[in-house]
Chains A and B, each alone.
Chain A
Amino acid sequence: MADERRGAMLTTREPDELPGDVHWYDLPEDEPEPEEVAAPRGRRLRAAGRVFTRSAAILLLLAAWEVLPRLGVVDPVFVPPLSENLAAGADLLVSGRLPEDLQASLVRSLSGFALALLLAIPLGLLIGWYRPMADALTPLLEVFRNTSAVALLPVFTLILGIGETTKVTFVLYACSWPILLNTISGVRTVEPLLIKSARSMGLKPYRLFQKVILPASVPAIFTGVRLAGAYSILVLLFAEMVGAKAGLGYLILDAQSNFRIPDMYAGIITISALGLLFNLLLIGVERRFSTWRTT
């Protein structure tokens, strides 16, 4: 995804500075692919085969996790069999500890993520649209993007204390960069021919933005949003491990330091499931908004 965008940036052309008869259109010639024709039975078999290939590696990992500790290949004290971890997870679920921590984490992640959407998308559109602003701000944005958010956590803690504000701001900060940078690049790499075509129909800058720039940037914005979704969970976990009294990060670290190893794995599995679920959700939303994309 990221590479796709970079490729698009390299081919940015500047029509105004090109001389006469040069054609700067280079839209890919993507003819519709012929529909796959297959007998229903063959298709069903192939679908089953696909499901198998896609889940085989995961099933193998889970099986190994169950079997290897039981055989003593790995130390069952440090890596208990999967079933024990799941049982511990069920206990945590019933006791209310897991839902409580999950809720604490979700509230922080989602508020930070939502605030980042509200802040970074409009800002990115603005910066991308005003070329001088983009030129002036890009170096600064690069500096911030390449400064790990995690490195800045102590600064946030210093300024905002150790409460909820710090954690939400921290997530907001980390999520803003991918959204912001992808939005800017999305706006700036809109196919120049589309802009020219809309201009030829007399569209004024505001309408041009609303009817061409914005819809054309949607895929790039979504790339940023999905990255941000992953970051929101990633960085929050770190913040919760460093200083918190609730949340999945706290649960995992607390379980580890009290040697409740199955509890720790239960927390890790929950995080992993949460991340997957969030990503799937965002992909679903993305599909809804970009049915027109060929890929």
Chain B
Amino acid sequence: MSVKIDIRNVRKEFRIRDTREPFTALAGTDLDVREGEFLTLVGPSGCGKSTLLDLIGGLTEPSGGEILIDGMPVSGPGLDRGVVFQQYALFPWRTARANVEFGLEAKGVPRAERAERARHHLDLVGLGGFEERYPHELSGGMRQRVAIARSLAFDPDVLLMDEPFAALDAQPRESLQEELLRIWEKTGKTVVFITHGIDEAVYLGQRVAVMTSRPGRIKEIVEVDFDTREGDLRAAPAFGEYRHHVWTLLRDEVAAAREQERKVAVGHG
């Protein structure tokens, strides 16, 4: 499989008010994302996962290194990538349909086709019949479905998802996970999915990339392959083994992240 996103030795620093030293979020980050794969990214909180996603999305620029998509350096945001945020980020003054049409308007799709594609994608995420509802009239899970439909509608090659299900309750989360896999299989998009849930990472990802504590690097990439996904996959022994492996990788990093936080707190006190 060819490489879709090529992250090479990326570094990202932030300036922080009232301090001279920059805050280093990422340093020496290398990662290849293959065309059409579902890659999940886990790491201790504060390790720079979201920063990495912002960089791929072109929302910020790296301080060093480079990010290539299809061999071309990322130069700002674009409709070849769709971002799904944890807090949905729906426009509250637009109905579900109009929200899905947003990216299509940006792309310059004619009006009639916009409506058709919005309807199709709302159907795809199981929201047929909810086209004219406003976000505040929908539940959290439904809102995230609208957000996913919005990102799919303008047909990006890559879907970047930043803990999209973290704010949901267990039941809607599991059903959305299943549906996301179904949609991924159907559309063949490349998905980079950030999560802090080990179960979620193992359940969704073909590969699970584990990050170190700040400054974040890729510590190890775990290939996940099940003989069968039939039945209760989460209860399968193989699932437990993958889960334990990722947990072990993360444990040291979480401890390191905690130590960092403690130091920062003491330093500020």
Contacts and interface: CB of A to CB of B under 8 A. Distances in A.
Interface of B is mostly: loop
Given A20-B50, A21-B49, A197 B85 contact: yes
Contacts of A199: 59, 77
Interface in A39-97: none
B59 A20 contact: no
Interface string A212-255: 10011010000000000000000000000000000000000000
Instruction: Give the interface SS of chain A, mostly helix, strand, loop or mixed.
Output: loop
Contacts of B16: 17, 19
Interface string A183-206: 000000000011011111111000
A292 B85 contact: no
A294 interface: yes
Contacts of A18: 14
B268 to A, nearest CB: 14
Interface in A6-44: 17-23, 25-27, 29-32
A193 to B, nearest CB: 5
Nearest to B99: A197
B63 interface: no
- Scoring A19, A207, A216, A218 by chain B CB atoms within 10 A of each residue's CB, the highest score goes to A19
Nearest to B22: A19
A31 B142 CA distance: 11
Contacts of B91: 194, 212, 215-216
B136 A211 contact: no
Contacts of A194: 89, 91
Contact of A29 (B14, B17, B140): B140
Contacts of B163: 23
Interface residues of B, number: 50
B46 A20 contact: yes
Interface in B25-54: 25-26, 45-51
A200 B83 contact: yes
Nearest to A24: B87
Nearest to B57: A200
A138 B81 CA distance: 38
B86 A25 contact: yes
Interface residues of A, number: 35
B88 interface: yes
B3 interface: no
A290 interface: yes
Interface stretch (B100-108, B182-190, B201-209, B232-240): B100-108
Given A201-B102, A216-B93, A27 B47 contact: no
A202 B77 contact: yes
B136 A32 contact: yes
Contacts of B106: 201-203, 207
Interface of A: 17-23, 25-27, 29-32, 193-194, 196-203, 207, 211-212, 215-216, 218, 290-294
Which 5 A-B residue pairs are closest in the complex by CB-CB distance? A25-B87, A20-B25, A197-B89, A20-B51, A20-B48
7 contacts: A20-B25, A20-B50, A21-B46, A23-B163, A25-B85, A196-B59, A293-B136
Given A31-B139, A197-B83, A211-B105, 17 more contacts: A18-B14, A19-B14, A20-B12, A20-B25, A21-B25, A21-B45, A23-B50, A29-B140, A32-B136, A32-B137, A32-B138, A196-B85, A197-B89, A201-B154, A202-B106, A212-B91, A292-B92
